[in-house]
Amino acid sequence: MNPRGSVNPLHAFQACALGQTMRSLLKAHSVEVMEHAEAMELALAEAARAPEHQDVPIGAVILGPDGSVVAAEHNRTVERSDPTAHAEALAIRAAATTRGDWRLTGHTLVVTLEPCPMCAGAAVWARLDRIVYGAPDPNAGAAWSLYNIPQDARLNHRCDLVAGVKASEASQLLTEFFASKR
């Protein structure tokens, strides 16, 4: 209401438009969360395979624009004696090869742990639309914890971020792995 006690028509319109926008965003977000959770289950299953060859249990899945799985990988740094064989980098490489194009516009990276600077940079260079991750990484996280490479306005591309999807399950895998090493 304005000072005279009547409703300003512009404010009423703005409130109505905002309400409709928020409802559509919430509806779309709840659908995305369900899809992200399902994709994270695949990434967790992939991560569980890494300890078979003494690698840290991190898994990654690339979803195509239609939500289909284009690539799935897990850490292979120990297995390949390659410090760049992170789950995210391997999945991005596999998706680009499958697609026949390094540009993965419209694709989503789903990974169990917040990407490191190398993998966050690879996601930006691959032009991924979105990064969805489980557990934060306070020691090397470059998608919010220490840096925010995917959303750095100084770069020529930015990725949307969704954090915390099945974070406790992802953290548990890592905790159990490192506990077994002590």
Catalytic positions:
88
Question: Do 88 and 96 form a contact (C-beta atoms < 8 A)?
Answer: no
Q: What are phi and psi of 112, to 5 degrees?
A: -75, -25
Structural tokens at position 53: 């060859």
Element (H, E) at 178: helix 167-181
Can you tell me whether residue 108 is helix, strand or coil?
strand
Can you tell me whether residue 53 is helix, strand or coil?
helix
Report helix angle 117-125 to 87-99, nearest 10.
20
Q: What are phi and psi of 145, to 5 degrees?
A: -60, -55
Q: How far apart are CA 128 and CA 61, in angstroms?
A: 12
Q: What are phi and psi of 155, to 5 degrees?
A: -90, 165
